[in-house]
Amino acid sequence: MTNNFYSNGKLLITGEYGVLDGALSLAIPSKYGQALHISSNESDNLTWKSYTNKNEVWFEGVFELETLQELSSSDNDTATALSKMLNEARALNPKFLSDYKGINATTTLDFPRDWGLGSSSTLLNNIAEWANVNPYTLLWNSFSGSGYDIACAKHDTPIIYSVKNKKPKVQEVVFNPTFKEAIYFIHLNKKQNSREGIATYRKADFDKNQFTSELSELTQQFIACKDVETFKNLIINHEALVASITKQTPVKELLFSDYDGAVKSLGAWGGDFIMAVGNTNTPDYFRNKGYNTILSYNDMLL
């Protein structure tokens, strides 16, 4: 018995932080994702191996299939998180795993683990499909988050995402700007811990309804935008709005004040990818600053 699953990675273009409180957000699946391959064995155990995009094992563990108790692993924290996810999936579907004597599970990423495109969300969505359970319920029972990354894992087009009272709403949209050759995605050479950014946001004192309303309006304007200069101004406005709430410094002001274009953080501020909108000199500018992972719009997004 074998099964194969695949989920897309993600980028949150608009609505960071506010997506947690119902703001409309533009999210786009990436061309990079994660595969899960399942096969049966006769061991009474679940043997798990996770591979990087360079086909190197970054995690391996063995779990007793009946209890999902860790028997051995290369990393206890990863093993604990994986066991929790699998146990929650079985709680949602008690028949999950019951058809197997033993299991070999293999995951393979399309992207480097430090890119922040959703190594956890793609895994969770793959497990949800394998277990035949609701991925959003699995997310909120196992961890936390808005769920936009799960929506991207399941869709092959740009989406508007919102969630209220743990009821996600996903609308597929057309987002294919005529100026997309001016859009680049640059990795900041560090992995951002979104939990820290969310904690800072949660502590802020502000009018939540006004903030989410303004973010939602900006999201609609991003989608409707027809020219690059307007798009740059929308980025500036979006960065200023989020900065006013989180009291963080926009990334352009912090790192790229001499860049002749607009720069926007994607997701929690402080790491992973940024979006830069400029001209054909943009890749050289960022390379000269020491940032070598630079992807065009067409290279990054579905």
Identify whether the C-beta of residue 159 lies closer than 8 Å to the C-beta of residue 172.
yes
Residue-wise pLDDT for 83-104, tens only, equals 999 999 999 999 999 999 999 9
In the chain, what percentage of residues exceed pLDDT 70? 100
The kind and range of the H/E element at 47 are: strand 45-51
pLDDT surpasses 90 at 144: no
Q: What is the pLDDT of residue 205?
A: 87
Nearest-5° angle of CA 240, CA 268, CA 301?
95
Identify whether the C-beta of residue 110 lies closer than 8 Å to the C-beta of residue 38.
no
CA distances from residue 125 to 33, 120, 222, 281, 294 in whole angstroms, order as listed: 11, 9, 28, 38, 27
Q: What is the pLDDT of residue 245?
A: 93
Q: What is the pLDDT of residue 271?
A: 80
Average pLDDT value for residue range 122-139:
98
Q: What is the pLDDT of residue 290?
A: 97
Residue-wise pLDDT for 240-270, tens only, equals 999 999 999 999 999 999 999 999 999 989 8
Residue-wise pLDDT for 108-126, tens only, equals 999 999 999 999 999 999 9
In the chain, what percentage of residues exceed pLDDT 90? 91
Query: Which alpha helices (DSSP H) does the chain contain, by range?
Result: 76-92, 119-131, 135-142, 148-154, 194-203, 208-224, 228-246, 251-255, 282-288, 297-300
Residue-wise pLDDT for 159-211, tens only, equals 999 999 999 999 999 999 999 999 999 999 987 777 777 888 888 889 999 99
Measured distance CA(110)–CA(128) in Å, rounded: 19
Q: Domains in the chain, please, with CATH?
A: 2-172 (3.30.230.10), 180-300 (3.30.70.890)
Complete edge-to-edge strand list for the sheet that includes strand 262-265: 262-265, 273-277, 183-187, 294-296
Q: What is the pLDDT of residue 202?
A: 86
Confidence of residue 20 (pLDDT cuts 50, 70, 90): very high
